[in-house]
Amino acid sequence: MIAQQVAFWIIAVAMALAAIGVVRSQNVVHAALYLVVVLAGAAAQFILVASEFVAWVQVLIYIGAIVILFLFGIMLTRAPMRSEGSLDNSQRWAAAVVSLFLFGVLAALLINAYGSKEITLDNKLVVVGNTDTVGTAMFHDYLVPFEVVSLLLLAALIGAVVIARRD
Amino acid sequence: MTLNYYLVLSAFLFCTGIYGVLARKNAVLVLMSIELMLNAVNINLIAFSAFNHSVSGAVFALFVITIAAAEVGIGLAIVLLIYRNEHTADLDEVDELKG
């Protein structure tokens, strides 16, 4: 129990710092690498609550595919590696005020609503998160949404090819 | 584990993402900030899935990951098209619709 708390806090602090790095870094490639830290940290948090399947999907899809896509995007748009100008626009301070205000509201609301409710870590939780249960739920209870999502992916694939095609 | 730890971490990541969307100029960096926000939602879904001992949260987290992948694909295609036509990925300079 204590070990899990310690692991949670170490990973959470790393994720928070890396998230600030994503939005503050003046180098686009560094921002993408900070994003990898955030996504890997999220996968580790999923492992901590025994959601092993989602954790590995997170590693495969997010870190393996999406970040690589981002790096291709950075390469193809020749985003400035060395900052010639700032990567931030002039409404930086207003944006900081908005996000801090929203964080304050959300944190107060969540602490007020959920107090010190605990996630009980037991054998039942391990069964809920494993590949067997998730796969059965996905292909049994959520079969129609699954098929709709696969159609959406196909549409996105064709759309991306059509949009980015040189003609 | 306290449920609130996960929820507040997720709220923090979401607000960082909002800051990034509002304050960044480069289109690829705005897309990265959107990924931060979607990832915060995933953490919420998984935390509630574990809290309620229900598998639905995990399934919806998988759907969110899939839609994030589709969104990045389309988003980067649009950014590439803008770059090809305008020779910039700077969102402040893409203002053709301004009267």
Q: Which tokens in the block code for residue A2?
A: 């204590």
What mean pLDDT is predicted for residues A24-32? 90
**Which residue from A minimizes the CA distance to B37?**
A19
Q: Could you say which of A116, A138, A163 has the minimum Cβ distance to residue B59? A: A138
pLDDT recorded at residue A82: 57
The alpha carbon of residue B17 is apart from the nearest alpha carbon of chain A, in Å, by 7
Q: Which tokens in the block code for residue A103?
A: 């964080």
Q: How does DSSP classify residue A60?
A: I
Write b or e for each residue in A38-56: b if 16 or more Cβ atoms lie within 10 A of its Cβ, otherwise e: bbbbbbbbbbbbbbbbbbe
Interface predicted TM-score (ipTM) of this complex, two decimals: 0.92
pLDDT recorded at residue A17: 95
The reply to whether residue B72 touches residue A69, judged by beta carbons under 8 angstroms, is yes
pLDDT recorded at residue B1: 79
Please count the other Cβ atoms lying within 10 Å of the Cβ belonging to residue B19. 27
In chain B the domains, ranked by start, together with CATH numbers, are 3-87 (1.10.287.3510)
Q: Which tokens in the block code for residue A49?
A: 């609550």
- Surface of B (25-44) touching A: CB under 8 A: 25-29, 31-33, 35-36, 39, 42-43
Which residues in chain B show pLDDT less than 70? 99
Looking up tokens 């098209």 gives B81
Specify the amino acid at residue A49: V
- The answer to whether A100 contacts chain B (CB < 8 Å) is yes
The reply to whether residue B18 touches residue A102, judged by beta carbons under 8 angstroms, is yes
Residue B1 DSSP SS3: coil
The alpha carbon of residue B50 is apart from the nearest alpha carbon of chain A, in Å, by 6
> Is it the case that residue A68 has pLDDT exceeding 60?
yes
Distance CA B62, CA A134 (A): 10
pTM: 0.91
Please count the other Cβ atoms lying within 10 Å of the Cβ belonging to residue A147. 10
pLDDT recorded at residue B14: 96
- The answer to whether A137 contacts chain B (CB < 8 Å) is yes
User: For A107-133, how does the pLDDT look when each residue is reduced to its tens digit (9 = 90+)?
Assistant: 999 999 988 888 888 888 888 888 999
Task: Determine contact, residues A81/A25, Cβ cutoff 8 Å.
Answer: no
